[in-house]
Structure 1
């Protein structure tokens, strides 16, 4: 995979949101308009498989990626909470 910039053209917006819509697992999961527990489990397994490469990372990079993943987890939880709070 070619290197993908983490930022939008302006350099201030995360690129991931736009990239998400191109990801095959996402397209398959929402094709029927809903996400199932099985689809979430399959995605979790893909993430775990990628995380298993952790021992290959140098310590400094490992620390930085760990902080990034933790902050992304907080961001995702905040977004889901906000969405749920705004449901009728």
Structure 2
């Protein structure tokens, strides 16, 4: 059984998930040339879908609700963090969905 990775740095109350993601071989390979192309993005989505199909049936209804909220909050955080970084580099722009 693999060692359980902590999700949080309790001392600093920050997430560790991004740190783990940055060490994934698939991430490192995609980022090697400094550009993420559509095939790399599609491959990442396929890995995500495969894992979701594997994990979702293992969850009770209560766990499913909590993990769904967790995934949504994580996705929102990642988008917000990315936009914040882009805005810091380019100056202030308004996000228009």
Whether TM exceeds 0.5 here: the answer is: yes
Gaps in structure 2 of 5+ consecutive residues: 91-97
Shift of 1:20: 2.0
Shift of 1:34: 1.2
Cα RMSD for the two superposed structures: 1.6
Aligned residues: 88
Shift of 1:9: 5.5
What TM-score, normalized to structure 1?
0.87
| SS class of match (2:8) | coil
| SS class of match (2:14) | coil
1:17-47: CA deviation from partner (whole Å, max 9, x where unpaired)? 2212211111100111211111111000000
Gaps in structure 1 of 5+ consecutive residues: none
Moved more, 44-53 or 15-24: 15-24
| SS class of match (2:11) | coil
Match of 1:58 in 2: 60
Equivalent-residue separation in structure 2 for 1:84 and 1:22 (angstroms): 22
Match of 2:82 in 1: 80
| SS class of match (1:32) | coil
Match of 2:93 in 1: none
**Runs of 4 or more above 3 Å deviation:** none
Shift of 1:76: 1.6
What TM-score, normalized to structure 2?
0.80
Larger radius of gyration: 2
Identify the structure with the greater strand proportion. 2
